[in-house]
């Protein structure tokens, strides 16, 4: 089988490529050029070196224009509206398993593979075996058709096993540290990037308490997200957290930790991998990547909106973030958090 492997220059995709070759597949290495940066060029160079070590062809695919249009621009627009999007989820569904897969098919590849810690089984998406590295949350917007031609070679391995394999294979990226930053944001400074990209100044505004009293001044709403504690610059008798962002007033609302919890939300822009529920159903839901799953009753409101009522209040439910739905090991799909609360 001819398989195209998306090679980021990291250890996970490098080992994934090696495992595919060991399994006897005809492997093609593909690296996306998404932005102009030294870090991007270094990653391309690492991927090219690994491909050379493995003896597989390597292609650099220039996707800067479509990445800017589909990922960067919406990300900045959402942040400017006081929302907190997850660009990696959009990139996976639209770019990596969308545009890149089309490029792979043009090279004759039957399937595309990545270094994600997840499992594709037929039409279904399953969690990765390593609970600490499971990345199925980032893949919840993939479709049945995308999954049917996808392979996750490291999905049943732990990170330690992957690094050990990389070392045994003599791959030059065996000890490369993981990046925790968004790939297109230098220095992980979201607010500065949004300001520069949109060409708009960060407008200061009021920081309010729950009663609407002004406590201080913020640096621009793009610098804040729900649940944030650090960087508020407010002296108070007890720690304060961002509880809401009001773009129509250019205001940030803060309160005590208990005020960051909510027991329900409305989600839209839904993707159900194997079909939507037609009646209320009890599932597990995750409102951020590192957030633990929580039991919830999911009630369909229309074809593209659900009301989610948690069994216990959840902290920092954030508009713009992705909510992923699970049934045991199976990822059922996901959507975008539109707002907190609101009875159906």
What is d(CA 226, CA 252) in angstroms, rounded to the nearest whole number? Answer: 9
- 235 exposed, middle or buried (CB, 10 Å; 0-12, 13-18, 19+)? exposed
Closest Cα partner for 10 from 135, 98, 121, 107? 135
What is d(CA 100, CA 96) in angstroms, rounded to the nearest whole number? Answer: 5
What is d(CA 280, CA 267) in angstroms, rounded to the nearest whole number? Answer: 14
Closest Cα partner for 113 from 215, 231, 13? 13
Of the candidates 70, 76, 140, 183, the residue annotated as catalytic is: 183
The residue count of the chain comes to 344
Q: Which residues of 236-254 are buried (b: 16+ CB within 10 A; e: fewer)?
A: eeeebbbbbbeeeeebbbb
Residue 183 is among the residues annotated as catalytic for this protein: yes
Residue 88 is among the residues annotated as catalytic for this protein: no
Closest Cα partner for 61 from 146, 4, 14? 4
Cα distances from 316 to residues 84, 110, 134, 149, 296, in angstroms, run 11, 41, 21, 35, 16
Question: In this structure, are residues 323 and 89 in contact, taking their beta carbons and an 8 Å threshold?
Answer: no
What is d(CA 23, CA 19) in angstroms, rounded to the nearest whole number? Answer: 6
Beta bridge partners of 208: 214, 253
Of the candidates 70, 76, 91, 140, the residue annotated as catalytic is: 91
Instruction: Tell me which residues are annotated as active site.
Output: 91, 183
């Amino acid at each position: 089988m001819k398989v195209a492997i998306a090679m980021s220059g990291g250890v996970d995709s490098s080992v994934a490529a090696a495992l595919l070759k060991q399994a006897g597949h005809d492997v093609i290495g593909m690296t996306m050029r998404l932005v102009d940066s030294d870090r991007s060029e270094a990653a391309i160079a690492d991927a090219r070196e690994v491909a050379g070590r493995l003896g597989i062809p390597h292609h650099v695919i220039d996707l800067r224009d479509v990445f800017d249009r589909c990922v960067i621009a919406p990300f900045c627009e959402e942040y400017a509206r006081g929302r907190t999007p997850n660009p990696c989820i959009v990139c996976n569904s639209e770019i990596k398993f969308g545009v890149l897969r089309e490029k792979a098919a043009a090279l004759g590849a039957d399937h595309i593979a990545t270094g994600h810690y997840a499992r594709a089984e037929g039409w279904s998406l399953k969690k990765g075996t390593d609970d600490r590295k499971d990345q199925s949350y980032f893949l919840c917007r993939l479709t049945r058709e995308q999954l049917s031609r996808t392979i996750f070679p490291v999905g049943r391995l732990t990170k330690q096993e992957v690094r050990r394999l990389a070392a045994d294979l003599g791959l030059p990226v065996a000890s490369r540290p993981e990046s925790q930053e968004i790939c297109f944001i230098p220095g992980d400074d979201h607010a500065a990037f949004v300001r520069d990209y949109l060409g708009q100044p960060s407008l200061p505004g009021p920081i309010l308490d729950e009663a609407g009293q002004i406590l201080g001044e913020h640096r621009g709403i793009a610098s804040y997200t729900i649940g944030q504690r650090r960087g508020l610059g407010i002296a108070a008798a007890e720690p304060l957290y961002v509880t809401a962002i009001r773009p129509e007033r250019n205001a940030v609302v803060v309160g005590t930790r208990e005020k960051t919890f909510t027991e329900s939300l409305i989600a839209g822009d839904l993707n159900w991998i194997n079909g939507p529920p037609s009646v209320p159903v009890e599932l597990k839901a995750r409102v951020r990547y590192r957030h633990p799953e929580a039991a919830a009753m999911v009630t369909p409101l229309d074809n593209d909106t659900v009301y989610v009522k948690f069994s216990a209040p959840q902290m920092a439910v954030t508009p713009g973030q992705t909510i992923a739905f699970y049934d045991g090991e199976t990822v059922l799909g996901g959507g975008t958090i539109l707002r907190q609360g609101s009875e159906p």
